[in-house]
Chain A
Amino acid sequence: MHPPRLACWILRICVPATERECVEGDFFEEFVLLHAQAPRSVAATWWSLGYVVRSIVPFVQMRLRRIPAVRLVATNVGALLFGAACFTAARSLRIFVLVHVPLRAADRPTLGYVALETLVVLAVAGLGGFIAHQLHAEFTSGRPS
């Protein structure tokens, strides 16, 4: 008596190599238990397929987490998107300040204008950093998958 080949194949593909033997052993053990309870039923076969399909996403996530290149690319793409969002926000605020705050009387920006613009950029960067920190904490904490 053996679990369905399709289920075994899916497990072999999804599960990280270091966990494969243990996960396949667990699967085999549970399949045998279920099959012993209802030997003539196809329930064990259906159960095994459901068991494997439900585990695909967590195992693939686990596998991706272990590849340094994937983490590096994901971090860089995230940082790029985050930087673009900060830049856009800072530009919008700069335009808003230029239109609504009459600090720039002469052609050369005044000290007050430079200070205010610096303050705006720092505030946006600080807010962005805070949001990034919150997101990081959220994504690295444990959640049921």
Chain B
Amino acid sequence: MGDYLAEFEHLVALALVRLGAEAYGMAVRREIVERTEREVSIGSVYSTLDRLERKGLVTSSTSAPTPVRGGRAKRCFRLTAEGEKALARSQRVLEQMAQGLSFEGAD
């Protein structure tokens, strides 16, 4: 049995898939804030990415510095093959749990 992602790890992994090559700290944070309408700190995002990287589910690379960032480099993240499997597994579990349920009362 492989790893399952926790709720916030799941959100971060989905944001990485959505953003593709443009998945860096700020973009991931904004993606989650815009889609979930929930306030998320950049610290939480980096802490989660760090944990996922230690588990071998995410890999990162540093790009060249850009003027828009005050001459600082950008660190881009992407899911590894193991990360994609873990995301698929967690997504499947969520869908299976929600199957046949209705959430009409939820806003």
Contacts and interface: CB of A to CB of B under 8 A. Distances in A.
Interface string B43-77: 11011101110000000001001101110111100
A14 B47 CA distance: 12
A145 B62 contact: no
Interface stretch (A16-24, A76-84, A92-100, A119-127): A16-24
Contact of A25 (B5, B44, B73): B73
B70 A23 contact: no
Contacts of A30: 26, 30
Interface string A100-136: 0000000000000000000000000000000000000
A21 B75 CA distance: 9
Contacts of B24: 22, 26
Given A55-B42, A58-B43, A145-B44, A28 B7 contact: no
B66 to A, nearest CB: 8
A58 B26 contact: no
A22 B46 CA distance: 10
A137 to B, nearest CB: 11
A142 B68 contact: no
B43 A145 contact: yes
B79 to A, nearest CB: 14
Contacts of B25: 22-23, 26
A17 to B, nearest CB: 13
Contact of B44 (A19, A23, A58, A141): A58
A51 interface: yes
Given A22-B25, A22-B74, A58 B8 contact: no
A24 B62 CA distance: 14
Contacts of B9: 142
A13 interface: no
A96 B64 CA distance: 69
A55 B42 CA distance: 6
Interface of B: 5-9, 24-26, 29-30, 39, 41-44, 46-48, 50-52, 62, 65-66, 68-70, 72-75
20 contacts: A22-B24, A23-B46, A25-B69, A25-B70, A26-B29, A27-B26, A28-B70, A29-B69, A51-B41, A51-B42, A55-B41, A55-B44, A62-B43, A62-B47, A141-B6, A142-B7, A142-B8, A142-B52, A143-B6, A144-B8
